Amino acid sequence: MLQTQTASRIKTLHLTNCFHSTSGGIKTFYNKMLESAENMGRRMILIVPGTENGLASAAEFTKIYTVRAPRSPLADGRYRIILPSNYLLPWAGAVNRILREEQPDLIEICDKYTLNWMGGLFRKGFTRGIRRPVLVGLTMERMDDNVSTFIHSGSSARRFCRFYLRYHYIPMFDHHIAISHYTAEELNTAMIGKHRRPVWIRPLGVDTIPSAGIPRANGFREKLVRELGLAGSPRLLLYAGRVSHEKNMPLLLDMMKELARSACGNYCLVIAGEGPLMPMMQKESEHGTPGRVKFLGHVNDKSYLVSLYTHCDAFVHPNPREPFGIAPLEAMGYGLPLVLPNAGGVLTYAAPDNSWIAEPDGKSFAAAVLSIFGNPELRQDKIGRARRVAENYRWPGITRDIFDLYDRLHNQQITAPRFFTESSLFNH
């Protein structure tokens, strides 16, 4: 009884630089956590970058604060980043003002570059007027993947990533949570005995999906085909996500070139998303496969996205370094045949018996697409298996499990303040 009462008073505070109008899985995760916290009566605070300091939203149990932040000089310039100046000095900075006011029991940081240093300040006792919380690092992507995509992909870059994680990221926290074994692997590989920390695997989720699927609406597909300017009865391949460097988008253009050479059907790729690679993708597709790649831009209407899932013929996801992949899992839940690479966090839920898994190149992806429509019986069997897998990842259960973990970590600190030993569980 005492443990339940203690857990019910826990206030968790979360910081991330990846919460913007066009953000993907990270923003979805935090929105679902806030929704669950409000429903469960749990106190949860989220701090994100913005144009001004202030309280962006407040409900009975949850709040979202924005901290004035500049635009990111690297990667996607639409994103803003909270700089260490907002918390490095214990008496100054918008983040410190929020921490002093809220006094959280647990702080979770989803960032490896500008926010992680906060954990080191708490561990060293360099904070003023803020009680010592449990410190959790949330890993939703791999540093080596980011560095190889945007900076350099050689062995020296990989060595730098291991060094940085080993001495400047992992030790800043008491615990780490990773969304897949793929993202956890990098932490466990970089870790040394001196700075060993528990790494807990907690996957992301999907919205509630009817077990029987959602029937197609009358006229939606025909209207979509007309709006896309397509002729005949094309097979629609869907990609939903950011159109950015780390997503390996050129693979999809190579796939469409291969399909265009095939005499087995008329294929069109529908891209629901936007990002810095949009101009290149549009130019290259018009040159290589004119009229076969259509861009919808960012789809902010969830019901429209669900209609795309249920009216297209297959979902293609090209990124072999995807940390987890909510969109492919959603596609499985809505009964859409799924083609994806044989690597990355997508293998958390995707397997040969429920998906079409291929080498991450255009020719292999095109062959997988063709095989989907070459065996209707196998297609229906895989679709059924995929939907049953997706049902195990519904958000209510996922968020509840994560909040339960927060409670356990906090209670462990209460009963044993110096609780971080090598006997802790590392992979559950």
Is 294 in contact with 269 (CB distance < 8 Å)? Answer: yes
Identify the residue whose tokens are 């987890």: 324
Q: What is the mean pLDDT of residues 405-413?
A: 93
> What is d(CA 287, CA 253) in angstroms, rounded to the nearest whole number?
10
Is CATH 3.40.50.2000 correct for 220-391?
Answer: yes
**Confidence band for 256, pLDDT divided at 50, 70 and 90:** very high
> What is d(CA 30, CA 46) in angstroms, rounded to the nearest whole number?
8
Of all residues in the chain, the percent with pLDDT exceeding 90 is: 77
Sheet holding 43-50, edge to edge: 54-58, 62-68, 43-50, 11-16, 106-110, 134-139, 175-178, 199-201
Chain mean position to CA 161? 20
Identify the residue whose tokens are 């059924």: 384
Among 66-75, 148-157, 312-321, top mean pLDDT goes to: 312-321
Q: What is the DSSP string of 270-306?
A: EEEB--TTHHHHHHHHHHHSTTSEEEEE----HHHHH
Q: Residue 357: beta bridge partners?
A: 340
The CATH number of 2-205+395-415 is which of 3.40.50.10330, 3.40.50.2300, 3.40.50.920, 3.40.50.2000?
3.40.50.2000
Q: Which residues contact 159 (CB under 8 A, 6 or more apart)?
A: none
Q: How far is the CA of 146 from the CAs of 138, 290, 353, in angstroms?
A: 16, 31, 30
Q: What is the mean pLDDT of residues 260-270?
A: 88
Task: Report, in this order, helix, strand and coil percent for the chain, each rounded to 5.
Answer: 45, 20, 40
DSSP state, residue 356:
E
Is 269 in contact with 316 (CB distance < 8 Å)? Answer: yes
> What is d(CA 153, CA 4) in angstroms, rounded to the nearest whole number?
48
Q: What is the mean pLDDT of residues 352-367?
A: 97
Question: Would you state the pLDDT for residue 76?
Answer: 62
Structural domain boundaries in the chain: 2-205+395-415, 220-391
Q: How far is the CA of 231 from the CAs of 86, 133, 162, 216, 235, in angstroms?
A: 55, 60, 52, 20, 11
Instruction: Report pTM.
Output: 0.89
Identify the residue whose tokens are 């690092």: 137
> What is d(CA 392, CA 400) in angstroms, rounded to the nearest whole number?
13
> What is d(CA 357, CA 162) in angstroms, rounded to the nearest whole number?
29
Rg of the chain, C-alpha, whole Å: 23
Q: What is the mean pLDDT of the chain?
A: 90
The tokens describing 95, both together, are 């983040």
